[in-house]
Amino acid sequence: MKENPDISVVVPLFNEEESISELCDWIHKVLRTNGNSYEILLIDDGSEDNSWSIVQTLHTQDARVKGLRFNRNYGKSAALNMGFKKAKGKVVITMDADLQDSPEEIPALYQMIAGDGYDLVSGWKRKRHDPISKTLPSLFFNFVARKMSGIPLHDFNCGLKAYRQVVVKNIHVYGEMHRYIPMIAKWRGFRKIGEKVVQHQARKYGKTKFGLERFIYGFLDLISIMFVSKFRRKPMHFFGTLGTLSFFAGLSITIWLIGKKFYAMYHEIKVREIVEQPLFFLALVALIVGVQLFLAGFLAEMSTMHNEKDADYLVIETAGI
C-alpha cells in the first residue's frame, strides 16, 4: 500500500491563471529541498479564466499536482472543505493562490505540527502589504475575534495555516466560516493551537477578490459560530434564560401595577385603570415573549435529544478496545 505523503498543500483558487504555475514551481522547489514527500491539491472554485487548463497541464507534468474543479463559484470555505476531504498528507498546509503567501514558510509550519505537536498553526502577517483601508478593519476584527473566542491569534483570516490530518478530517467548513477554522477546531476539541509570524508578499498579479463587505459578513459569521459552538447541544440554556428573564420582568411589572392599583384604591387616590397604562402592555408583551422563548428552548432541547444518537463524537485514540 502506498504510504501517505508527509504534506498536502491545499490551494483554493479563483481566476488565478497568472500565478498558479509560479506558485507550484515555488512549492516544488521548497519541498524538494526539504526532502518531504508531498502533494499539491489545486481546488478551482469555478474560475472563468484559463486557470483549469493550467491545472490540467501542471498535473500532466507532475502527478503530485492534483486538481478539482467546481461547476461554479461556491466560495473559499467550500474549496477548503473539499481540499480537506481529498488531502492524504500527515500534515495539511493551506495557502492562497495569489503569491501573497510564501511557500518558504511550509517547512517551519510542518515542523510545528509534526515535531512540536500542535494541532493547528496559523500564520500571522505581522507586516502587511495592504492599504490602510484593509489593515485597520482587520486589526479591529481580529481583536474582537480574539476576545470572543479566547484563542490568542493575531490574524484569524490568514490563508497560510497548518493542520494535523486528524483535524481537517473532523471539521466541516461551510458558508464563509474559513475565517474561523481555529474556532471550529477548538470546538471539536483540538486545543493546541499555535501561531507563527509569516512573510506577507506584495500582490504581484490581479486584484483582491474581497471587498470591505467581508468584514460585515465576518462579524455576522463570528456571532453565528460563537452561538452554535456554545449552545448547539444545550439550546435551553440560551432560550430558557432569555425566556425566564423576560417572563419575570413582565410578571414583576404586572404585580407592581396591581399593587399600585390596590394601594390607590385603599387610600382613595385617583389613578388610571391598569389596562390604560402603557406599562401594562409592555408587561404583557414581556410575558408572551418569555413563554415563547421558553417553549422554543424546550422544543430545541427535544430535537437535540432526539438527534443525540447521531452525535458526531470524535474518538482519536483507543487502548485495549
Task: For residue 218, give the H/E element and its range.
Answer: helix 213-231
Query: Structurally, how many domains does the chain consist of?
Result: 2
The last residue of a domain, from among 231, 264, 297: 231
Confidence of residue 122 (pLDDT cuts 50, 70, 90): very high
Return the number of other C-beta atoms located less than 10 Å from residue 274's C-beta.
14
Residue 239 in any domain: the answer is: yes
Q: CATH no. for residue 141?
A: 3.90.550.10
Q: Cell 470572543 identifies what position?
A: 148
Q: How far apart are the first and last CA of the chain?
A: 25
Q: String of b and e for 110-129 (b: at least 16 CB within 10 Å)?
A: bbbbbeeebbbbbbbbeeee
The grid coordinates of residue 127 equal: 507586516
**Candidate from 164-168, 252-256, 271-275 with smallest mean pLDDT:** 271-275
Instruction: Determine contact, residues 166/4, Cβ cutoff 8 Å.
Output: no
pLDDT in tens, 52-93: 999 999 999 999 999 999 999 998 999 999 999 999 999 999
Confidence of residue 277 (pLDDT cuts 50, 70, 90): confident
What are 113's three cell numbers? 505540527
Contact assessment for residue 37 and residue 8, using Cβ atoms and an 8 Å cutoff: no
Q: Specify if 125 maps to a domain.
A: yes
pLDDT of residue 188: 86
Q: State which H helix or E strand residue 122 sits in.
A: strand 120-124
Which pLDDT belongs to residue 144?
83
What is d(CA 313, CA 170) in angstroms, rounded to the nearest whole number? 10
Beta strands 65-69 and 120-124 are unpaired
Domain membership flag for residue 318: no
Mean pLDDT across the chain, nearest whole number?
Answer: 85
What is the per-residue pLDDT for 1?
Answer: 41
Mean pLDDT of 21-33: 95
Note the pLDDT tens digit of each residue in 130-142.
666 667 777 888 8
Determine what percent of the chain is predicted with pLDDT higher than 70: 85
Same domain for 278 and 165, yes or no, is no
pTM equals: 0.75
* Helix extents (H) in the chain: 20-34, 51-61, 76-86, 106-114, 132-149, 165-168, 181-187, 213-231, 235-266, 278-307
Q: Tell which of 207, 231, 255 closes a domain.
A: 231
Residue 315 is assigned to a structural domain of this protein: no
Q: Quote the CA–CA distance of 225 and 270 in Å, as a whole number.
A: 54
Spatial neighbors of 184 by CB under 8 A, at least 6 apart, are: 171, 172, 173, 177, 225, 229
* Cα(11)–Cα(19) distance, integer angstroms: 12
Of 76-80, 194-198, 243-247, 262-266, the least confident:
262-266
47: amino acid identity, one letter: S
Q: What is the mean pLDDT of residues 242-251?
A: 92
Q: Which residues contact 27 (CB under 8 A, 6 or more apart)?
A: 9, 38, 40, 103, 106
Q: State pLDDT tens for residues 202-236.
A: 767 666 655 556 667 667 777 777 777 677 677 88
142 and 283 share a domain? no
Of 213, 231, 249, the domain-final residue: 231
How much is the pLDDT for 9?
97
- Domain enclosing residue 75, as ranges: 7-231
**pLDDT beyond 50 at 267:** yes
Residue 300 has a pLDDT of 77
Say if residue 14 is in the same domain as residue 85. Answer: yes
Calpha distance 43→52 (Å, rounded)? 9
Residue with C-alpha cell 481555529? 182
Contact 50, 16 (CB under 8 A): no
Instruction: Give yes or no: residues 37 and 154 share one domain.
Output: yes
Give the residue, 26 or 261, on which the prediction is more confident.
26
Closest of 172, 184, 168 to residue 88, by C-alpha: 168
